């Protein structure tokens, strides 16, 4: 992941910027969530399945906008889901 903050992202280059930062192409749903948070600067409650790539969404905000993100995740629910 790049250590350079890409401030003021625009929607036309968002896919390419995320690909450059993380090294793989983001899903359209991830880009839409990131657009809502980083470009539109709107609040978002993201509920998504395991393996969706929520961490990419959360980390992208700090990288794209600069600064710090506070992420609250109920990890105990993830642990319970994965125990069979």
pLDDT digits (tens, 9 = 90+) for 21-63: 889 899 999 999 999 988 888 888 888 887 898 888 888 888 8
Predicted TM-score of the model (pTM): 0.70
Q: Report the alpha-carbon distance of residue 75 to residue 31 in Å, rounded.
A: 23
Residue among 58, 54, 60, 44 at smallest CA distance from 77 = 54
Which pLDDT belongs to residue 3? 46
Q: Report the alpha-carbon distance of residue 35 to residue 32 in Å, rounded.
A: 5
9 close to 66: Cβ distance less than 8 angstroms: no
Q: Report the alpha-carbon distance of residue 50 to residue 81 in Å, rounded.
A: 9
Per DSSP, which regions of 5-59 are E strands?
none
Tokens of 70: 């506070």
Q: Report the alpha-carbon distance of residue 67 to residue 16 in Å, rounded.
A: 21
């Amino acid at each position: 992941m790049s250590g350079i903050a890409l401030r003021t992202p625009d929607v036309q280059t968002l896919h390419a910027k995320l690909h450059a930062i993380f090294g793989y192409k983001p899903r359209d749903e991830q880009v839409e969530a990131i657009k809502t948070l980083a470009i539109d600067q709107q609040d978002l409650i993201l509920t998504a399945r395991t393996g969706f790539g929520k961490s990419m969404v959360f980390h992208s905000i700090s990288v794209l906008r600069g600064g710090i993100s506070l992420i609250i995740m109920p990890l105990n629910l993830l642990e319970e889901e994965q125990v069979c």
